[in-house]
Each structure stands twice: as structure tokens, then as C-alpha cells.
Chain A
Amino acid sequence: GDSVTQMEGPVTLSEEAFLTINCTYTATGYPSLFWYVQYPGEGLQLLLKATKADDKGSNKGFEATYRKETTSFHLEKGSVQVSDSAVYFCALRGSLTGGGNKLTFGTGTQLKVEL
């Protein structure tokens, strides 16, 4: 079945540092890929998405490129801020019909940004 593997946290960075959170996936066909962010005490919010190979999703300075050859969707940001501290989830939605639009999530990566 579908699965998502992302790097374990916590990841601790200084403000203005470069961020990479690795995400790889296993799926049949051509899934859609997502990054969600969860701030403390809140639900998950969609950060960015990509629906086909070589697409780049971007939002709020975050980027991720759908790499089918390496089955990866790594999240990057050039300069993190304290306000980016949160848990980040990589997820995929399978391309097969009849799947009910279900998302499969990675285990989440906690990011802590310090001054």
C-alpha cells in the first residue's frame, strides 16, 4: 500500500538558517503530494501541494518539488523564522479511483527555530 517516510525530528535551527525536511513516498501510479503544517494546539493546515511530476509547490517561502525519479518531495525554506516553529507533515493522495480521496501521512517532523 501507499506509504510516506519523512525525517525524524525534532529539527532545531537558528533564525535565518536554511531548512530541509526530507520526504519520500511509495505509491502506485501518480499520486498527489502535500505538505501540511500543525501549529501548537491547532489542526493541520495545507502548506503546499503538487499534483504531477516536476511540479513545484510553494507558499510562504516554503517550496517542494515532486521528483518521481527519486520518489521524493522534500520541503525547503531559505530563511526560517521563529514563527515557523511547528510540526510538518508530508502526505500523499493516491491516484487510483475509488480511493475516497484518502490521504496517507508521514509521522511528522517537529521544527524548532531559535533566536
Chain B
Amino acid sequence: NAGVTQTPKFRILKIGQSMTLQCTQDMNHNYMYWYRQDPGMGLKLIYYSVGAGITDKGEVPNGYNVSRSTTEDFPLRLELAAPSQTSVYFCASVRANYGYTFGSGTRLTVV
């Protein structure tokens, strides 16, 4: 049982480049989330999904896009990378009334 798998673990992007952060869960959870973690700032919600085909914005969605074509996958897309997007990104999934299961994170640096 792999839980929540994120790839890649590390990435360096140049300003203006694009990339997709992958997230897959094998627990058949309906709810999935993308958070970013900045030093001293806790976790901020970027986007979330309550099921396949349904996504919604969180607190800090600007500069990101998501899709949810299957229950398992919830990729996060950065179209024009900016230095302000340097952060650690965490994907998570949850079954109702239980705690979240987090992936191990993607450390992204934009230079």
C-alpha cells in the first residue's frame, strides 16, 4: 500500500518555465489537496478536489492549475514559474472523518 506518491522529489526551474507536479493515491480517497509550505508560514491550500472531475480553489491558487480526471491522480501545473513559487509542495488525500495522508513532498526552486 503506497499511500500518496509525489514526483519529483526535487526540481529546479528557470523563471518562465512550466512543469507538472504529479500526485497519485491508491486508497480510493475522494478528497485530494495541494498545499505549499513556506518557512514559518505553515501550509497554505492551493487547490482541492472532492472527486473526479471536480476541483476548486484554495487560499493561494494564482499561478497554478489542477485537473482530476481520475480518482487516483491529482496533478498540479505551474505554467510560468516565478521565484515566489519556490516552496515545498505537499499533496494529500483523505477519507471523510479521518486524518489526511500526505505525500513526502516536492521541493521546488525557481531561479
Residues of A within 8 A of B (CB): 32, 34, 36, 41-46, 49, 51, 89, 100-103, 105-108
Contact = CB atoms under 8 A, between A and B. Distances in A.
B74 interface: no
A32 to B, nearest CB: 8
B42 interface: yes
Contacts of B31: 100-101
Interface residues of B, number: 24
Contacts of A89: 42-43
Contact of A43 (B42, B94, B96, B103): B103
B40 interface: yes
Contacts of B35: 105
The interface residues of chain B, by DSSP majority, are classed as strand
B99 A49 contact: yes
Interface of B: 4, 31, 33, 35, 40-43, 45, 48, 50, 56, 58, 90, 92, 94, 96-97, 99-100, 102-105
Given A100-B31, A107-B41, A43 B102 contact: yes
Given A89-B42, A105-B42, A105-B43, A100 B104 contact: no
Contacts of B104: 41-43
A109 B106 CA distance: 21
Given A34-B99, A49-B99, A100-B48, A43 B41 contact: no
A46 B4 CA distance: 14
A106 B42 contact: yes
B99 A102 contact: no
B42 to A, nearest CB: 4
15 contacts: A36-B99, A41-B104, A42-B104, A42-B105, A43-B4, A43-B90, A44-B90, A100-B50, A101-B94, A102-B48, A102-B58, A106-B42, A107-B41, A107-B42, A108-B42
